[in-house]
Structure 1
Amino acid sequence: MNSRLHDTRGSFSRWYCSKQMNSLIDNLPIRQINHSINIHSGTVRGLHYQLGPQLEYKIIRCIKGEVLDAVVDLRRNSRTFLQVVQVMLSATKNNALVVPPGCAHGFQCIEDNSQLMYLHTSEYFPEFEGGVNVNDPALNITWPLPIKDQSERDSAFPFLTDNFSGILL
């Protein structure tokens, strides 16, 4: 889905096709689309996830600039429990990432003025949001740049405890 057609006018690419994506998101409809604008390189957002009835898939695409995206598997009994996947997303690469329910998501901006578009299979309700601290030593996430900007809320997210058994889906 990341191919781009070029001609003298510019380019064209398809960003979402339900026929291609439905199997990846369990045939759930897209319920919310968000746009994140990030002014400074080094900015970190996350690691966020939704619980209970608001468990969701997210499709993340960088539409301007470049970000390092991080996904942490928090799903109880998952074969990849507590593993971190990092993917460089960029407008140039025209790539996207699907984040499954029960996984925490965050990113660091590599370029100033990076922008992301998120497609969600659930609507946001703050009472069902959870978060993990991006500096949790148990996750050992390596951010390529020093963290420059981070919200108070995100920096206050807790570290995982030794008895964290995961999110039950």
Structure 2
Amino acid sequence: MIFTETKLKDAYIINLEKMVDERGFFARTYCENEFENVGISFTPVQANVSYNRHKHTLRGIHFQKSPYEEAKLVNCLKGAIYDVIIDLRPSSPTFNEWIGIELDSKNRKMLYVPKGFAHGFLTLKDETEVSYLMSDFYVPGSGRGIRWDDPYYNIKWPVKAKIISDNDKNWPYKS
């Protein structure tokens, strides 16, 4: 795996190191030792998949409140997403900053989202599947969200969302 730190402190884009032959390729998508070699302590305890029927479906922007923060390793298995993370750690030099990256089944990039970040995505193709490895278990009642269109963060989505859950439509604006 090839780790590239993003402009947000502690968040990484991970590219696969593929072993290619006539059959296709083989690549490691998680290795505790490789994560530790770049200073990331990440041990998954839960794996999730998000299936999205239609392009332009928005999911997020979600996080779990303290002390239930969770780190994620996000991978788009089928289709494509515009993945967004926001650093919500008050002590971080990149506090309240965001980045967006396209993850898809062709580029096979992954995004490591540290604890203390909010995460959401917008599907760019029909029939999109997203896989997450989670560092912590989901705790009912601890989930929070940020509006995808909050002018405080001014996230630049590549296209307008067409499908948004009522829950995501009703998160309060920060500003």
TM-score (norm 2): 0.86
From 126, 147, 151, the counterpart of 1:133: 147
Checking the alignment, whether the CA contact within 8 Å between 1:3 and 1:94 is kept in structure 2 is: no
Query: 2:155 aligns to what SS in structure 1?
Result: coil
Offset at residue 4 of structure 1 (A): 2.1
From 99, 109, 122, the counterpart of 2:113: 99
**Against the structure 1 CA distance between its residues 123 and 23, is the aligned structure 2 distance closer, same or farther, given a 3 Å change threshold?**
farther
Checking the alignment, whether the CA contact within 8 Å between 1:46 and 1:107 is kept in structure 2 is: yes
Match runs of 1:5-154 below 5 Å: 5-22=19-36, 26-154=40-168
Offset at residue 122 of structure 1 (A): 0.2
Offset at residue 26 of structure 1 (A): 4.6
Offset at residue 38 of structure 1 (A): 0.8
Number of residue pairs the alignment of both structures matches: 161
Structure 2 residue runs without a partner (length 5+): 2-15
Distance 2:94 2:157 in 1: 21
Identify the residue that residue 159 of structure 1 maps to in structure 2: 173
Offset at residue 137 of structure 1 (A): 0.6
Checking the alignment, whether the CA contact within 8 Å between 2:35 and 2:42 is kept in structure 1 is: no
TM-score (norm 1): 0.89
Distance 1:37 1:25 in 2: 31
Distance 2:120 2:89 in 1: 16
Query: 2:168 aligns to what SS in structure 1?
Result: helix
Q: Which amino acid aligns with 1:36?
A: S
Checking the alignment, whether the CA contact within 8 Å between 1:54 and 1:122 is kept in structure 2 is: yes
Query: 1:89 aligns to what SS in structure 2?
Result: strand
Q: Render the CA deviation track for 1:73-119: whole Å, top value 9, x for unaligned.
A: 11112211111111111111111111111111001111111111101
Distance 1:79 1:53 in 2: 21
The structure 1 segments of at least 4 consecutive aligned residues displaced by more than 6 Å after TM superposition are none
Q: Which amino acid aligns with 2:170?
A: A
Identity of counterpart residues, as a percentage?
A: 35
Q: Render the CA deviation track for 1:140-159: whole Å, top value 9, x for unaligned.
A: 11111121111111111111
CA-based RMSD: 1.5
Structure 1 residue runs without a partner (length 5+): 162-169
